Amino acid sequence: MPELPEVETIVHSLRPRLFGQRIRGLTLHRTDIVHPFGFDLAAALIGHRVTDLFRRGKRIVFQVDDDNHFFIHLGMSGRLTIQSAETSPRKHTHLLLTFGGKRSPIVVHFTDPRRFGGIWWLGTDPPQGTMGPEPLTLRASQLATRLAKTKRPIKNALLDQRLIAGVGNIYADESLFLAGLHPLRLAHTLNADEINRLMHAIKLTLRRAIHHKGSTLRDYVDGDGKRGSFQLRHNVYDRADEPCRKCHTSLSRMVIAGRSSHFCPTCQPRQ
DNA sequence: GTCCATGTTCTTTA
DNA sequence: CTAAAGAACATGGA
């Protein structure tokens, strides 16, 4: 699914279309995607305008004109796309949100075959929760403090949304490659230079991925249904046994934190 | 049939 | 209590 760059791209495509628009209708095809379960979304949202739309971690957060907030998380296979009023929903479309006037309404479709995603009501005072800081504005010194507290492999730590928000399996692997760090290196053993490299690598990787509108491996498209192209520029992710783009060594694949990890055994020495 | 998949959370184990 | 490992969730494609 979408990690930070994909979610950022979706928000970028939806924001100008939805900003200030009034929610006219809401159709729920599956009730189990709503959290808390049973919350009456239609009663809370219909008639209200969208006053803000932004990304936080991998969440797409909506603010409405009575200061209530909710967010959509796309899980592994979710899509959030803008369709015309005539478009019939595809299979596994669980929620339709209709915006705008009766003359030219736009409909946002939430589609998610695996249903790991959903919609979460936050109310007027969204709690900070346990989500970690945004990587694009994080300082290396702050990352150092957080990594010093865990003895897990660095790959596991990067996937922990409480430690840093928005990085998933693709961008963790790509960032570790750019930083020249083996995914099994224990987080608390990284020195200042390595943490600087890692912080720089995470930011560079995420910015490049946003520039290319994310990675489309399978399901991901933006709000206009367009695919990303960053998958063409991956250095290591899903490239096991292919040559490293830097040194031509055959890339490795290993299961870490229950996820496949891809790395170059030469450029990312374990030491 | 088997294995694997861009994620998160709960349970189990130490 | 903490930290880490593993399973679970649901669907589809190779």
CATH number of the structural domain spanning residue A238:
1.10.8.50
Which CATH number is A19's domain given? 3.20.190.10
Q: Residue A268 domain-assigned?
A: no
Q: Residue A233 domain-assigned?
A: yes
Q: Which nucleotide is nearest to A170 (CA to C1')?
A: B6
Count up the domains in chain A and report the number. 2
Q: Say how far A192 CA is from B7 C1', in Å.
A: 30
Same domain, A103 and A156: no
Q: Which of A88, A123, A158 is the last residue of a domain?
A: A123
Q: Say how far A213 CA is from C2 C1', in Å.
A: 40
Q: Which residues touch strand B (CB under 7 A)?
A: A 1-3, 6, 57-58, 73, 75-76, 114, 116, 159, 161, 168-170, 214-220, 258-260
Same domain, A149 and A258: yes
> Is A39 within 7 A of strand C by CB distance?
no
**Which residues numbered 52-81 in chain A sit less than 7 A from strand C, measured from CB?**
76-77
Same domain, A116 and A147: no
Q: Which nucleotides in chain C lie closer than 7 A to a protein CB?
A: 3-12
Q: One digit per residue, pLDDT tens: chain A, 271 residues?
A: 699 999 999 999 999 999 999 999 999 999 999 999 999 999 999 999 999 999 999 999 999 999 999 999 999 999 999 999 999 999 999 999 999 877 889 999 999 999 999 999 999 977 778 899 999 999 999 999 999 999 999 999 999 999 999 999 999 999 999 999 999 999 999 999 999 999 999 999 999 999 999 999 988 999 999 999 999 999 999 999 999 999 999 999 999 999 999 999 999 998 7
Same domain, A214 and A111: no
Q: Residue A20 domain-assigned?
A: yes
* Residues of A taking part in catalysis: 2-3, 58, 259
Q: Residue A131 domain-assigned?
A: no
pLDDT at position A216: 95
Q: Which of A96, A123, A150 is the last residue of a domain?
A: A123
pLDDT at position A1: 65
Q: Residue A110 domain-assigned?
A: yes
Same domain, A242 and A148: yes
Same domain, A223 and A116: no
Same domain, A75 and A150: no
Q: Say how far A189 CA is from B9 C1', in Å.
A: 28
B6 closest protein residue (CA to C1'): A1
Q: Residue A91 domain-assigned?
A: yes
What sign does the CA torsion over A107, A108, A114, A119 have? negative
Q: Identify the CA nearest to A156 among candidates A146, A145, A143, A169.
A: A169
Same domain, A184 and A243: yes
pLDDT at position A49: 97
Q: Residue A199 domain-assigned?
A: yes
Same domain, A119 and A152: no
> Is A248 within 7 A of strand C by CB distance?
no
What range defines the domain where residue A74 resides? 4-123
> Is A36 within 7 A of strand C by CB distance?
no
Same domain, A149 and A41: no
pLDDT at position A271: 78
pLDDT at position A103: 81
pLDDT at position A244: 97
Same domain, A33 and A104: yes
